[in-house]
């Protein structure tokens, strides 16, 4: 894609004697062709936006008129929806994704009164609306600012009088959304096609950087399967504060509420957060200063720095051990990591342990309780961007890693869930070959068995939540039709469909509440829209319902259920 950024002089480029046009509909957005989610274009002029796609700029029109020798008095044509069910959404107005705009035209056959309804599919960015300007053939709506949660639909009566059957009304509605500032990092949708790490090929798997803090995102859809992936790039930058929030619910039917709490000192994405046995929350790693650690005091609601890791990490694992220690394995930070280390909250110290046999990131790790007392590490991406199906067991007593039976499929960005009633580990989805498949590892025999069927949709960067009341696992979100959800029944080793989400989500968080409900929050849709919304799943009714909307949109975030308050779960 470097050819798109070549510079040419006036012998090649004819600007038709116009000034440089930041507002051109043809201008690239700030992150065009990025492979590390950082801006590729920075305007020299301050406070300008680039990359809008909703209308021709005045200079665009001027150039077209000059080039084609058109009259400056010419008119611009509008289009008319062919039916009332036409999707009227046009596009974001700029690369910052801070406004939505809807453009459409209605032909009036005669003078009449119209009930005009505006509806979007995201409860975080809908009305209520008010008319801010009217005319004989035009009405402009604006969103009403309010501290209350916005409704999903707002209807405004619009009276239009006309005597011409050809009169057209063009209505433009702008919706201001809340953009994420520092708690999340954007990423292109991972694919599974490449042979060598590349910085330009659009079909290459692109991993998250360690510096991006904007909310602008792009996505590509995986088209083929392979056994390789590109490695992510990491760069240390100056730090900014990151916000956290707490969700509180009082009854099963309550909508709950979100309240802000202490902010992280460093913005993080692709980090991990774990509740320790002392009720503190430990957050480690991430795309900025990936060796740093922060501890959240649930009493004071304040974050403090913890002892730094020996290695900076993203896309690593962090597993709580029965004795209260936390073991971190693998990850990536300018290199593939096979190192592992343990944090001891009693002494507030860290220690290294022996390294894994294979470096890996995007993997999973599960502690196998007695009588095994070992850590099972599975899959991920290894050296030379090779997708892995290999597995290793760590023996705490001997401080050694040994290979165990490999998974049937290669898996990256999958989920792994321990099933205590069966003493099995369930691996679901992931990029590689069969994205919608699952397999179970029997601890006693160290053998994997494939699921009898697969999900209809590929799943990676999804969530998997064990519902104790039924023993089944709820699979939510992820790439490809992210509104579709599934249940996996370990007893019959098969998937069934579950009720669809109200809002399709990629990389949301899912938390099992004490009531048995599953709280799902945030995420994105095709990496173009970040969500503040949340909803809960009731396994008894196989139904989803919306709950209170978060104060900030979040993507690549983490969520934990606090031990000292069974009704609260902070989003970090």
What's the pLDDT band for 407 if we cut at 50, 70, 90?
A: very high
> pLDDT value at position 410?
95
> pLDDT value at position 11?
76
Residue 502 region by backbone torsions, left for phi larger than 0, else alpha for psi between -120 and 50, else beta:
alpha
What's the pLDDT band for 368 if we cut at 50, 70, 90?
A: very high
Q: Is residue 445's pLDDT more than 90?
A: yes
Q: Which of 206-210, 407-411, 484-488, 543-547 has the lowest mean pLDDT?
A: 206-210
Q: Give dist(CA 532, CA 331) in Å, integer.
A: 28
Can you tell me whether residue 444 is helix, strand or coil? Answer: coil
Q: Is residue 552's pLDDT more than 70?
A: yes
What's the pLDDT band for 512 if we cut at 50, 70, 90?
A: very high
Provide, for the chain, the percentages of residues in helix, strand and coil under a 3-state DSSP scheme, each rounded to the nearest 5: 5, 35, 60
Q: Is residue 437's pLDDT more than 60?
A: yes
What's the pLDDT band for 296 if we cut at 50, 70, 90?
A: very high
Residue 200 region by backbone torsions, left for phi larger than 0, else alpha for psi between -120 and 50, else beta:
alpha
Burial letters for 262-273: b for 16+ Cβ neighbours within 10 Å, e otherwise?
bbbbbbbbbbbb
> pLDDT value at position 80?
43
Greatest alpha-carbon span in the chain:
89
> pLDDT value at position 564?
56
> pLDDT value at position 226?
37
> pLDDT value at position 6?
78
Span 166-180, pLDDT tens digits: 333 333 333 333 222
> pLDDT value at position 240?
42
> pLDDT value at position 213?
33
Q: Is residue 142's pLDDT more than 60?
A: no
Going by C-alpha positions, the residue among 510, 555, 506, 572 that lies closest to residue 535 is 510
> pLDDT value at position 83?
42
What's the pLDDT band for 35 if we cut at 50, 70, 90?
A: low
Q: Give dist(CA 412, CA 545) in Å, integer.
A: 31
> pLDDT value at position 203?
31
Span 454-496, pLDDT tens digits: 999 889 999 999 999 999 999 999 988 899 999 999 999 999 9
Instruction: Identify which has the larger pLDDT, 18 or 474.
Output: 474
Going by C-alpha positions, the residue among 106, 105, 172 that lies closest to residue 139 is 172
Instruction: Identify which has the larger pLDDT, 47 or 330.
Output: 330
| Ranges of each domain in the chain | 1-71, 262-404, 455-571
CATH code: domain 455-571 is 2.120.10.80
> pLDDT value at position 480?
84
Q: How would CATH label the architecture of 262-404?
A: 6 Propeller (2.120)
Span 306-327, pLDDT tens digits: 999 999 999 999 999 999 999 9
Can you tell me whether residue 315 is helix, strand or coil? Answer: coil
> pLDDT value at position 62?
87
Span 2-17, pLDDT tens digits: 667 777 777 778 888 8
Instruction: Identify which has the larger pLDDT, 568 or 86.
Output: 568
Span 85-127, pLDDT tens digits: 344 433 333 333 434 444 344 444 445 455 555 554 444 444 4
Provide mean pLDDT across the span 172-201: 32
Provide mean pLDDT across the span 328-349: 97
Q: Which residues contact 73 (CB under 8 A, 6 or more apart)?
A: none
What's the pLDDT band for 41 if we cut at 50, 70, 90?
A: confident
Span 219-257, pLDDT tens digits: 333 333 333 344 454 443 333 446 676 666 544 344 678
- When the pLDDT of each residue in the chain is averaged and rounded to a whole number, the result is 75
> pLDDT value at position 381?
95
């Amino acid at each position: 894609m470097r050819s798109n950024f070549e510079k040419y002089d006036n012998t090649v480029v004819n600007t038709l004697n116009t000034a440089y046009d930041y507002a051109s509909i043809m201008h690239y957005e700030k992150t065009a062709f990025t492979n590390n989610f950082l801006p590729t274009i920075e305007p020299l002029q301050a406070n300008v936006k680039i990359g809008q796609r909703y209308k021709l700029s005045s200079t665009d029109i001027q150039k077209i008129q000059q080039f084609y020798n058109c009259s400056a008095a010419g008119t611009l044509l509008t289009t008319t929806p062919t039916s009332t069910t036409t999707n009227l959404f046009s596009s974001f107005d700029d690369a910052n994704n801070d406004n939505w705009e809807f453009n459409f035209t209605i032909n009036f056959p005669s003078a009449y009164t119209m009930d005009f309804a505006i509806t979007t599919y995201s409860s975080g960015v809908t009305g209520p609306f008010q008319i801010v300007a009217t005319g004989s053939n035009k009405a402009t709506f604006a969103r009403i600012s309010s501290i209350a949660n916005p409704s999903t639909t707002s209807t405004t009566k619009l009276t239009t009088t006309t005597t011409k059957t050809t009169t057209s009304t063009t209505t433009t509605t702008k919706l201001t959304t809340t953009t994420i500032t520092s708690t999340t990092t954007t990423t292109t949708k991972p694919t599974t096609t490449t042979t060598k790490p590349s910085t330009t090929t659009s079909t290459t798997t692109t991993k998250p950087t360690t510096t991006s803090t904007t909310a602008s995102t792009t996505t590509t859809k995986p088209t083929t399967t392979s056994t390789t992936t590109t490695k992510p790039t990491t760069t240390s930058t100056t730090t900014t504060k990151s916000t956290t929030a707490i969700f509180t619910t009082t009854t099963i039917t309550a909508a709950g509420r979100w309240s802000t709490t202490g902010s992280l000192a460093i913005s993080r994405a692709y980090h991990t957060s774990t509740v320790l046995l002392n009720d503190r929350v430990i957050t480690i790693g991430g795309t900025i200063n990936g060796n740093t650690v922060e501890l959240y005091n649930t009493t004071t609601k304040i974050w403090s720095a913890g002892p730094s890791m020996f290695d900076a990490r993203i896309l690593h694992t962090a597993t709580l051990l029965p004795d209260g220690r936390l073991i971190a394995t693998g990850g990536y930070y300018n290199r593939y990591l096979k190192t592992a280390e343990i944090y001891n909250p009693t002494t507030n110290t860290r220690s290294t342990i022996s390294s894994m046999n294979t470096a890996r990131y995007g993997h999973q790790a599960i502690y196998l309780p007695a009588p095994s007392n070992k850590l099972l590490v599975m899959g991920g991406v290894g050296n030379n961007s090779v997708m892995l199906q290999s597995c290793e067991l760590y023996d705490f007593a001997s401080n050694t890693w040994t290979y165990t039976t490999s998974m049937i499929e290669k898996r990256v960005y999958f989920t792994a869930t321990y099933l205590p009633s069966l003493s099995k580990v369930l691996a679901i989805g992931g990029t590689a070959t069969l994205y919608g498949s699952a397999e179970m590892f029997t601890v006693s025999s160290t053998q994997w068995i494939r699921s009898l069927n697969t999900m209809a949709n590929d799943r990676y960067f999804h969530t998997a939540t064990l519902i104790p009341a039924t023993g089944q696992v709820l699979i939510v979100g992820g790439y490809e039709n992210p509104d579709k959800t599934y249940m996996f029944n370990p007893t019959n080793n098969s998937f069934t469909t579950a009720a669809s989400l109200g809002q399709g989500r990629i990389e949301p968080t899912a938390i099992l509440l004490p009531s048995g409900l599953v709280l799902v929050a945030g995420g994105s849709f095709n990496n173009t829209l970040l969500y503040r919304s949340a909803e809960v799943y009731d396994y008894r009714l196989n139904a989803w319902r919306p709950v209170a909307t978060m104060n900030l949109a979040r993507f690549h975030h983490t969520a934990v259920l606090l031990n000292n308050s069974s009704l609260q779960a902070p989003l970090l």
